[in-house]
Structure formats: structure tokens, C-alpha cells
Amino acid sequence: MKDYTDVAGRVLLALLFLLAGIGKLGAGYEGTQGYMEAFGVPGMLLPLVILVEIGGALLLIVGFQTRWTALAIAGFSILSAIIFHSNFGEQAEMTNFLKNLSIAGGLLILYANGPGKYSLDNRGK
């Protein structure tokens, strides 16, 4: 059962980032750029954000460079929490802050334990 839950866990962690990255393409691009700039983050970094979200999600799903990808996205999640969700006077922002930290926690567990048997990292083993 562990081999299958490893895959399911990777996919579920990645799904949020994959859909968020895809959502920023096209119609959501300008709105996201404006949102970033409102918090002092240069809008020109949005392509990098999209690459991290979509690229990182795909790497997690297939289990390639899983530990380093999980660590990078965990850092991304923590940084996003601090920059965009640190208004603790608003309950929704506190919830988003804690959500980002919880996701980072799951990614750190993935970093510590690796991708599992069914992954490109463990092919041929």
C-alpha cells in the first residue's frame, strides 16, 4: 500500500501548484501580475513563478529530482505565505498563511522520505 500512497501523495501535493500555474496563464496573468506588484514583488517575476508551479508540479508527479523539487517548492510556499498572507488581522489570510505552511510541511516530509518506488528517481532499482 505504501508504494501507491507515495504516488498519491506526490500527485495531491503537486495538483495545487499545477492548477495554480495553469490558472496564471492567459486570462489570469495580468491580475496575478497586479496582485504581486501590490505586495512589492516585481511583476516580471511572474514567468518564474509559473515555471516553478507548473514545472515543479510535473517533476513531483513523475518523481524526478523529487527531493530537491520538494525542498524548492516548500521554500516557495513559505516565502509566498510570508509575502502575501501575513495580515493576521484577517481570518482568511491567517488560514491561507497556515495552509501554505502545512503544504510546505508535506513537501518537507517528501524531501526527507523521497518519492517512493514508483518514480523516475527510483527507476531500475
pTM here is: 0.94
Angle (nearest 5°) at CA 68 between 28 and 7:
75
pLDDT of residue 27: 84
Contacts 24+ apart (CB under 8 A), 83-88: 83/39, 83/40, 83/41, 84/35, 84/39
Is 80 exceeded by the pLDDT of residue 124? no
Q: From residue 80, give the alpha-carbon distance in Å to each of 24, 41, 77.
A: 15, 11, 5
pLDDT score recorded for residue 60: 98
**pLDDT number for residue 70:** 98
Q: What is the mean pLDDT of residues 46-55?
A: 98
Task: Give the C-alpha separation, 10 to 106, whole Å.
Answer: 9
